[in-house]
Structures are given as C-alpha cells and as structure tokens.
Amino acid sequence: MKGNRDTAQGPDDPVIVVESLTAGFGETTILENVNLKVLRGEILCIVGGSGCGKSTLLKQMIGLIRPDNGRVLVGGDDIAAVDDERLNRIRRGIGVLFQSDALFGSMTLGENVALPLSGFKGISAETVQLIVRMKLGMVNLVGYENHYPAELSGGMRKRGGLARAMVLDPQILFFDEPSAGLDPINSAELETLIRGINAGLGTTMVIVSHQVDLVLRVAHRILMLDRGAKGIVAAGSPEELRNTATDPRVRNFLFRGEAAVGGR
C-alpha cells in the first residue's frame, strides 16, 4: 500500500516550484520552459527515455547547476539567487541518494553515515553514534556500523547511502535511479523503505528512474519527460495516466510497467 500524502497542508502547498526552466549544455538545450510543482509529502517520480533531461532536472532542483533561464524555488527561495550561507541552510533540508551509493570505501558504514554531521559543532561523539544507529535502524542495517562498503552487498550499500541521506532529517529526499543494479529482492526492499519513510515521516520525495515497475509501485504522481519535446509530455497519478493518457509514448511506458509488475 502506498504511503498517504500529508493533505493537512493542502493539495496545492508546494515545497519546490520550477518556473519557466530552460537548461542545457553549451549550444544544446535539453529542457525548455519547464514548469512544475512538488507538493509537500508526495512521492513524485520523473521518468522518460535516455537523454530526456531527467538527471538535469534533478540537478537543477538540488541546486548543483544553474538554469539558463527561469528559476527553481525551494521553500520559497530562488536557489540560484541566494547567498552561499542561505544555500547551505537550504541544502541541509535536502537529502540525496545518488545512482551510485557514493559511500567512501576507506570509511566504515558508520563513519559514512556520520559524515554530514561533521560540519556541526557541539555535537558529542555519543550523540553522533546514537543518530547513526537510529538511521541505520531505519534501513535495517543495525550492527553493520563497523563494516566497510566492500564488505556489504549492493543492496546494503544502497540502503547505507539512504541512511546517510537521511542523517540530517531532511524535508526532501531526492533519488537518482535508486534501484539501478539491484536484484528484484533488494529492489523490493528498497521500495518498501521508500514507502515506509514517506508514510511514517511525511518526507517529500523526488525520484528519477527508468525502472517502470518501481515507479508504478511507489509514485503518488508521475511526470514524463520527452527528449524531442524538451519538457513534460504527461503528468498525473499512475491511475490517471492509465485511464486517460492517449499519447503513445505514455501508454507504451505504462504497458511496459504493468507487464513488469504483473510478472513479479
């Protein structure tokens, strides 16, 4: 069962607003005049074919790259216009799980998870250890604090990366291809964690993925990007798109996903 989005804030209460966004590299425009909102407490999945701009859009929303035109508002702040101090505060409210787990091989899992806490003064070692154990407990990795990434399976490393992304209690979690490289069992476990965190904590989530079955299982809302259109060609819940979409690109996506989910 999918986590319930927190509707107490109202269905039109966005935590991220993308306005007239145009972005690209050099002379190549990848996204053009893109507008979207990410609502508080929802799981928004961004999908589309290779080169459609999924990762570019994610990096824009995190503030890793600046738009050529338009703006991205996080909590009402234009993240391309704020000073570095304000940007750092905004980023403390954001967690990111990258496609690779991005764990440092020379550090134990516990040290990796604790890393975002190193910039805060006055936190005792005991408190850090308590927070690390709590976050590892949330991803079913209690007892693995002293293991190095090379000693963990791919699924465990991915969950360790998620624990680190959550260590500062972010309001927003971004996932870049979270199930890439995982076998069906580990992928299903990660899906369960995503839904559980969203339902239990009300964390807003933005997921970029080409794994159609994962998207159909966890999404409250789907945005589909298209390389030719340089933007959004469909938006809605899985049910809405299944019942109303006529665009063959969207229907092919949903049909492929339904076949995958049904085959599990």
Specify if 162 maps to a domain: yes
Is the pLDDT at 5 greater than 50, yes or no?
A: no
Distance CA 10, CA 7 (A): 5
Q: What is the arithmetic mean of pLDDT over 192-219? A: 93
Confidence at residue 120, expressed as pLDDT on a 0 to 100 scale? 83
Considering the domain boundaries, does residue 12 fall inside one?
no
Q: Kindly report the average pLDDT of the chain as a whole number.
A: 89
Residues near 109 by beta carbon (within 8 Å), at least 6 away in sequence: 103, 136, 141, 144, 145, 146, 147, 148, 149, 152, 160
In contact, 45 and 219? CB cutoff 8 Å = yes
pLDDT at 254 over 90: no
Domain of 140 in residue numbering reads as 102-169
Separation between Cα atoms, residue 103 and residue 118, nearest integer Å: 15
Tell if the pTM clears 0.85, that is, is over it.
yes
State percent of the chain over pLDDT 70.
92
Query: In this model, does residue 73 exceed pLDDT 80?
Result: yes
Digit-coded pLDDT (tens) for 148-181: 999 999 999 999 999 999 999 999 999 999 988 8
Number of folded domains that form the chain: 1
**For residue 12, what pLDDT band results from cuts at 50, 70 and 90?**
low
Confidence (pLDDT) at 245:
85
Using 50, 70 and 90 to split pLDDT, how confident is the model at 44? very high
pLDDT of residue 256: 67
pLDDT mean over 239-259: 80
Residue 7: the pLDDT is 41
